[in-house]
Each structure stands twice: as C-alpha cells, then as structure tokens.
Chains A and B, each alone.
Chain A
C-alpha cells in the first residue's frame, strides 16, 4: 500500500513523501511503517501510544482516523494519507460583555484620571469602561491583597469586594502596605476600604469581615466577574477554588513564602483549576504558612502587582494570561520561571466527570491541620490560662518550644527549652517523665504534631500541647506580666 505523509509532518519523518508499506488494514500499515521507519513513531503516536491529535488518516477520500476503522480492509483503496489537521480556536475574550461595557459612561474627571489607560491602544475608552463595569473579589487584605486592592482601585475597577477576617497587627505593617499605624487593631477590610476610598471616592467597595467556610464562600463570589486569591492558607484557597470552579469564575491565584512567590490564572479559557494542579491540600504540618515562615517585605508587592495585572488583562481581554502556566518568582536570586500546568481531564471538580458538584462540607480545617480536635489518638491540651496559673504557682513544669530558631528569635517563651520538631525523637531523653511537659509552638498545631511524633517513638511521659500556641498566650501573659518577656 502506498502511504503519503504530508510535508507538514516532515520534522519527524524522512523526506520521502510517499512510501510503500506492507499491510491490508490501517493497524498493520501503521505497524509496518513504525517498524520500517522507527523515527516515524514520533510522528504518528504520542507518549501514550495514541494517535496524535493533529493527525488525520485517510484511505483515499475516506476518513479512517478513528481507531474503530483501523481494522477495515483497505485493499480496494489506492493510497493511505497521513495528513495534519490544522485547527484552532479563539483565545478568551474579556470577561465583561459588550452590553455591560456600553452601560458605562466616563465623566470628565475620569477621562483625566485614567488618561494613561486611554492612551493605550489595547485599553482606550472601551477598555476603561470594561474596567469600570468590572466586579472583582479580593480575598485577603494582607501582603498580596494590599497591592492587588490598591492597583485595582487605582485602575478604576468599579466594584471591589474585600474579604478578610483579621485585624491589623503591628507586624503586618512590614509588608501589608495598605494599612497604617492608625489601623492597628482595626479590621483589615475596614482599613483597606478607607485606604482606597481616599484614592477614589467613586469606587463601590464592599468590605466583608468574614472567615470563609463551605457555607458562605458561594455567596461571597456569586455575581462577580473575577476573584483574586490573596489568602494565606490552604483552607481558604481550596474553598475559593471550588466555589469559582463550580461557577466558572476566573481566579487569579497568588502565594508567597519567604523569598518565593507563584502566580497563575485558574478556571479560565479551558485552563486548569487549583485541583487540576494539586488535587488536595498538603498534609497538616507539612507546609508552614507565611505567618510562620516569614517573607521578605517587597515580595507581596511583586506577586500582588502581577496578580492585579493579570486581573486587568482578563477584564480587558488583552495580552497573554497565565492560563495553564505557573509563574514562579525567586526574589532572592531574582529568577522568574514559567512552568506549564495542564488541565487534568480527571479533575474532581472541573474534569469530564466531576465528583464534586458543590462546595462540599468537606472538613478543610481538619484536612489542613487547623482544627483543634484531632482525629488520631488524642493529645492532651492545656489552655493558656491554666498554663499561666501553673507557671505562677511555681508548679514543676518542663516547657518545650518546638519552633524554629528564627521564630524564637522574635518572641521567646520564658523558661522554655528549645527542641525543634526534627530533633525531638533524638532528644527525648532530655524530657523528664516525672514532670508535666508542655509543648508550645506558634499556633498550637505543630505542638500536637510534636507530641504525636514523640508518642510514635515510644515516649510515655505526661505531655500537653498549648492550646492556640504562643499567639494565644502572648496577650494573656506576656502583656499583663511584662516581666516574663
């Protein structure tokens, strides 16, 4: 049988456009082809032995591409063709419809305010109206949320919803540049709202002082065009992803840790969602949060500014979005890498046969180790109040601080011996079995993990985990009894 291979496929094949190959059925012909010209296997098949998606096989005028036709007797045909299928689709358009754009009007003040946007060919008046029509949710008003909220507000995004449940703390001011000294102890959402209102009074700002859970996450994102995830924990990230994936709301994801950041755009233009990339959150205790691991001050600005830029591009439908790509930023060596991130067709939420149909009552906190009750063997707890009382009474206690040296340097627990988790098993002999041993860490998660680790290696002594960690203890003891510091 004569087989014709299109020149468009020549990069794999020898130059012979037409070759004679033994075989009656297509299956036999393809096999002989690969046997005779081993390099052609790369043309025809992908890594999994499937016919490449861009190849069509014809016997004369009949399409035989589908594998169900591969055993047809082809002896009555004169030639087999391996031809490329050249096809494609349009890239994602603006998430703002023309109707909504047309409803917007720019007044004189806005023409002046946004003149730098109006000068750009890709934006212009039309684009600025899209930005004005846009409704964006920013989850988290911290290191990432600060620049995202500020830039989106400055760019003229019509409606911005800010979601956070925390209050501003002094230590936040190192990187959360939307807040000021006067905002300490105020809700972050209120501080952020006031800050951007001072830039543009016309903005419609919705401040939601709420902690996300499976119940409320849907109503938080419902009716919005785009969500920017600036949260700092896995629970929130998976809740937001699931809620957005189910509603097909594009999601600009960002995360930072120490000197490293990542940005990607999810649920957009047929690209992946967070669960395509990471089906489940990491094991509890495996990944410290930014609050525990720290981060260099401008990193949130770098990553957040890129998130804001991505969000605006999606609103405008211009440029190349980080769809199917993860941008990794190494601020220490100033390296930017782009990784491909494919959509997973078996994704539990956005694949062909999704198993997740709604944001489930799946216990994220338990999964992420944020929950205070344990599902494994129970660990005894001690409340900050009880511990304070016992210290005051002078009870014989051993306090073990399992945090890392850099964390202890910030706030030392008085009288505690320091044994980082990694050294516990080896150093268990330092712990007396006659005295109660209280394990402390920053938030009361790793101390539970520490006790379990010790129990696993056979430690029998009385062990307690400080509930809520040093964070919970510090307002109680360290501030009222300053001497302990």
Chain B
C-alpha cells in the first residue's frame, strides 16, 4: 500500500479538531477547500444533516449546501479538495460506510474525539473507482 503525503497547516487542523470537540457526542463534518495541487487553504464547516440521534454514528452533507459552498469558494479562487468528519468515541479510521461513499482523489480527514477530547487524526484518499484503496496518513 502506498502512503501518499498530505499537508495541512496546524491552524487549519486545529480548526477541525475544535469542531470535532464542539460537536461531541455528535459527528461534525465539513469541506476542505484548497488549490489545484490539493493543498488545503480553508476549512468550511457544514451542517450534519443526518437526523437527530443518528448524528452520533453518522454524518451527511446536503449536496445543495455543498454546491453553494463551492460557488462561494470559486470567488476566492479555491476549490473542494476534500472533506472531514469526526468519530465520537471511535477510532479515526474509515468505516465501511465511509469507504463506500468515497470519491476518488478527494482527501478525507477523519478525527477521533474520545470523551469529547481530540485524539487521533488520519487522512485517506482513494485513487480510482475500483476497489483498490490507497490511504495517506499523517499524524
């Protein structure tokens, strides 16, 4: 398995971690905006549209909100390069459901929030639409 690299500034990563802590015990989610080469420039937190209690174990981003966010981003010359979400009291790894919904070449940052506190962070990426998965991780 090849491990690609993924760069994100500390300040941005901190934003994600804070969002995960704030949303606890529910999952937070958001969009990574950045340049052509995939480097993250901005974080955009979006609403988790999964209903009620299910937010403890799942997240979903409203596609139309994603569209609006993308249109806004274009004005600032950034684009969608990936997504993040948190796993309350669960490890920072992709669940089977996460993997099913993954879009190739997008970076997926997963944050673990144990007892409401940030724990582990990982980033993942799949290369093509076939089943081979490539992950890139950072600490």
Query: Which A residues have a C-beta under 8 Å from some C-beta of B?
Result: 4, 6-12, 42, 46, 52-54, 56, 58, 61, 81, 83-93, 122, 269-271, 317-320, 323-324, 338, 340, 342
Q: How far is the CA of A340 from the CA of B134 in the complex (A)?
A: 12
Which residues of A are found within 8 Å of B133, using beta-carbon distances?
A: 340
Which chain B residues numbered 82 to 139 have a C-beta less than 8 Å away from chain A?
Answer: 83, 85, 87-91, 93-98, 100-106, 129, 131-133
Q: Which residue of B lies closest to A11 (CB)?
A: B105
Interface string of B52-75 (1 = CB under 8 A from A): 000011111101101100100000
B89 touching A93, Cβ below 8 Å: yes
Q: Which residue of B lies closest to A6 (CB)?
A: B70
Partner of A324, one of B80, B87, B96, B132: B96
- Min Cβ gap B77→A in Å is 12
B66 touching A86, Cβ below 8 Å: yes
- Min Cβ gap B73→A in Å is 8
B96 touching A270, Cβ below 8 Å: yes
Which residues of B are found within 8 Å of A270, using beta-carbon distances?
A: 96-97
- Min Cβ gap A391→B in Å is 58
Question: Are A318 and B91 also in contact (CB < 8 A) when A9-B103, A85-B101, A89-B97 are?
Answer: yes
Which residues of B are found within 8 Å of A9, using beta-carbon distances?
A: 103
A84 touching B27, Cβ below 8 Å: no
Q: Which residue of A lies closest to B87 (CB)?
A: A90
Q: Let me know if B19 is at the binding interface, CB within 8 A.
A: no
Count residues of B near A (Cβ-Cβ below 8 Å).
Answer: 42
A54 touching B129, Cβ below 8 Å: no
- Min Cβ gap A67→B in Å is 17
Q: Which residue of A lies closest to B101 (CB)?
A: A54
Which residues of B are found within 8 Å of A89, using beta-carbon distances?
A: 57-58, 95-98
A319 touching B66, Cβ below 8 Å: no
Q: How far is the CA of A11 from the CA of B27 in the complex (A)?
A: 27
Q: How far is the CA of A85 from the CA of B95 in the complex (A)?
A: 16
Which residues of B are found within 8 Å of A81, using beta-carbon distances?
A: 63-64, 67
Q: Let me know if B29 is at the binding interface, CB within 8 A.
A: yes
- Min Cβ gap B72→A in Å is 12
Q: Which residue of B lies closest to A88 (CB)?
A: B98
A87 touching B97, Cβ below 8 Å: yes
Which residues of A are found within 8 Å of B70, using beta-carbon distances?
A: 6-8
Question: Are A340 and B95 also in contact (CB < 8 A) when A6-B70, A8-B103, A87-B61 are?
Answer: no
Partner of A91, one of B80, B95, B132: B95
Partner of B87, one of A10, A53, A91: A91
Q: Which residue of A lies closest to B31 (CB)?
A: A86
